[in-house]
Amino acid sequence: MQIDGQVAVVTGGASGLGAATVRRLIGAGARVAILDHDGDKAQATAQEFGAHAIQTDVGDEASVEAAIKETVATLGTPRIAVNCAGIGLAARIVGREGKLSTDLFERTIRVNLMGTYNVMSYAAREMTAAEPLEGGERGVIVNTASVAYQDGQIGQTAYSASKGAIAAMCLPAAREFAKLGVRVMAIAPGLFETPMMQGLPPETVEGIVSNIPFPHRLGGPGEYAQLVQHIVENAYLNGETIRLDAAVRLPIR
């Protein structure tokens, strides 16, 4: 799909991987709606890049429905949907003094998995109702998993479960939408320079980087966005989860 002239929605687009994706898509000629829980930061990012900001709780179906309706009314039918919104809370299943983490598990699943599913569902409904583009394509959905879905660390049970489900639903979703000309892909990023990583002490970051084979550094958000662009433009990519990780495998902790 040619990006120029198309409408895109990017969740979590106010910062990190999402903001880099917004910048990349706008640079390629797309009109972009930023869907983010932080309305103020979304507005600031939208003003910087020339996008449209919509405060959205992706884990709330009604909020997502309203955001997609606003996108259609303001920019037009989205042909591209990129799900970057997510949280990375960590806790052991059974912590100190027998404390359980079921509340954290439920919240993580709601934001990461249900949030992705909600946006994919409402975006796909608009895409499948649109006229096909050249080659019969109607839209592209890119979801964000994580390398933790395959080698999650201690304390990442909730996060790994949410990201594993995102990877697992990629193929059946792609098969469902195939006859309607909508592709579904997922990216499983490794260790990237995101606000979450930037908040760690330097010695912690050094320890993390020591496990990355090559390139021996954290990934740049722009490299994630570059892969998003390639997925959108390469019509033969469908139904697959791509690890973007410099060959890293996460240690046990």
Catalytic residues: 159
Q: How many angstroms from the chain centroid is the CA of residue 159?
A: 14
In one-letter notation, the amino acid at residue 233 is E
CB-count exposure of residue 59 (10 Å: 0-12, 13-18, 19+): buried
Q: Which residues pair with 118 in a beta bridge?
A: none
The label of the residue with tokens 């930037």 reads 198
In three-state form (DSSP H/G/I as H, E/B as E, the rest C), the secondary structure along 159-176 is: HHHHHHHHHHCHHHHHHH
Residues in Cβ contact with 121 at an 8 Å cutoff, skipping those fewer than 6 apart: none
Strands of 7-11's sheet in order across: 52-55, 31-36, 7-11, 78-83, 139-144, 182-189, 241-244
Q: Is the sign of the CA dihedral 147, 149, 155, 159 positive or negative?
A: positive
CB-count exposure of residue 4 (10 Å: 0-12, 13-18, 19+): exposed
Question: DSSP state, 97?
Answer: G
